[in-house]
Chains A and B, each alone.
Chain A
């Protein structure tokens, strides 16, 4: 493993982190130039008609739009290094505050959806892969394709029409006003705050609001897991060691469990990192469907307000989050599977 020192874990982690810095830099540069080079003046796009000419000029000066592009680029990069994502134009708030106030809701939604996707997707995928070309396999594959093919907002529409009403579940927001009023904000994550407050009504209310959005988003991602786990299972069951185990006369059930399932699950960890991007995209749509007060819905709102500052800040944050998470997953992966550390 430590041949020539190139396979050691700390070295791998360091390499991975050093490689990611230029990547983030390129992404930031793209975000900046794409949003700045675009025709049209951001300040008047966001505030035109709301403020007079003098106030617009003042705002432009305050935001540094009258300075050369390269100076603005430098400012942008150095402020991102200090974790400052700029200010929104339309309501003049630090983007970091927007992230703090709305990020919790997005985090709650994505984590809940992820858990649902894993709990539903992995067993179904294993089952389909184990009994290839049987009736359950066909059914599960069809289900997997359906979850992929149905856009989250369509599933959300169906949920709102066919599920929410009979079960009396709420379809909008993450809590009723009374809960928001009663629960003390401590962590900016409403679910955690509600549990910390010990108020049973608030807990119930928050969970009820979470069910439909989380299931909707979870179904989207679970299709990916079904397909992935199934294919892995198929490939694992064809490997030499499974054949060898069968030849040694190991019971069929033991072969499936100990040699098949366990090895088929290893790549899932890798894919979890890749799915984060899908989850984020799905979250933007789910939040808009269920009026969920998360970062994605906020982004869409700012887009509709033509607020370049907010869009730039939130997109920067998302991009960095995705890259950082992919690195973390790679590191975890290297910890688990030594083959990864080349």
Chain B
């Protein structure tokens, strides 16, 4: 437990000034959105697709008021509620896509790195091709297919993000496996007669899985933007299925000309803040963990007091 705390605290204790401040701000913003996501049903005044309360219809595109601090949109929905519920959608999609990436990418990477051969070649080629493809276009194509078949649901969108990010997980895991399989402990396990499946599961998995949290953090901000972009193009989640900021902005665009600003401003700000929070966390970690950029906090050097009796003889000569 103490070790965990010291590992988690490392980025904080080893940074100074601006870098530390940025990291703290990032963690605070991200934590705020996590709270929104987890406690959305209690924090949001209404449901995300609720257009009336206690028999009273909400106004259409109503300006911010006491009952609706962020106003209402053209579908009579409360904007504040949708902003809060949107955090939950974002969190669900990001977690699901990371989960899919781990479930698919890690085994593929381990098997590919462990066995090598033609399977490895083909997988590397396919993953490289996926990676070379402009990521957002890839997400568009995949969600076009999935939404056609499964409708715009959280699962379909998460899967489209998975296709975008899986090459990175695959690559990292494969390369770690390649170097780990030459290690002495693998040789020892093999000498004791462990089967391949056991080596991969017991010895390799635990070692390669460690890079996943870092990748997840780095990709989370990008994933939020991709999700919003898909929603904006109408390929993501539909308004009545879940609250999604990008899709809300798409509907708000028509309002910009008619003086209605609240339907677009608040979902947009939510995206900006969440992405900033995640980016600050990622960049803060990068500045502390990347040795080429790292500036460690230096302990002040205390010189012994200089007195006449301890002065060095050579100095006088």
Contact = CB atoms under 8 A, between A and B. Distances in A.
A289 B251 CA distance: 11
A126 to B, nearest CB: 17
Interface string B109-132: 000000000000000011011101
Report, as a range, how many residues of chain B touch the other chain: 35 or more
Interface residues of A, number: 52
A303 B232 CA distance: 13
A156 B249 CA distance: 10
B70 to A, nearest CB: 15
Contacts of A27: 129, 132-133
Interface stretch (A4-12, A50-58, A117-125, A316-324): A316-324
Nearest to A150: B272
Interface centre among B221, B272, B292 (most CB of A within 10 A): B272
Contact of B137 (A38, A40, A280, A326): A280
A304 interface: yes
B249 A153 contact: yes
A78 B1 CA distance: 61
Query: 7 closest Cβ contacts across the A-B interface?
Result: A281-B136, A154-B268, A149-B275, A277-B134, A26-B129, A160-B256, A38-B145
21 contacts: A23-B132, A26-B129, A40-B148, A40-B149, A133-B17, A145-B276, A146-B276, A149-B276, A150-B275, A157-B264, A158-B268, A160-B253, A281-B135, A281-B136, A285-B233, A303-B144, A303-B233, A318-B134, A322-B134, A323-B132, A326-B132
Interface of B: 17-18, 125-126, 128-130, 132-137, 140-142, 144-145, 148-149, 221, 225, 228-229, 232-235, 246, 249-250, 252-253, 256-257, 261, 264-265, 268, 271-273, 275-276, 279-280, 283, 292-293
Interface of A: 22-23, 26-27, 30-31, 34-35, 38-40, 45, 133, 137-138, 145-146, 148-151, 153-154, 156-158, 160-161, 171, 231, 234-235, 277-278, 280-281, 284-285, 288-289, 299-300, 303-304, 306, 311, 315, 318-319, 322-323, 326
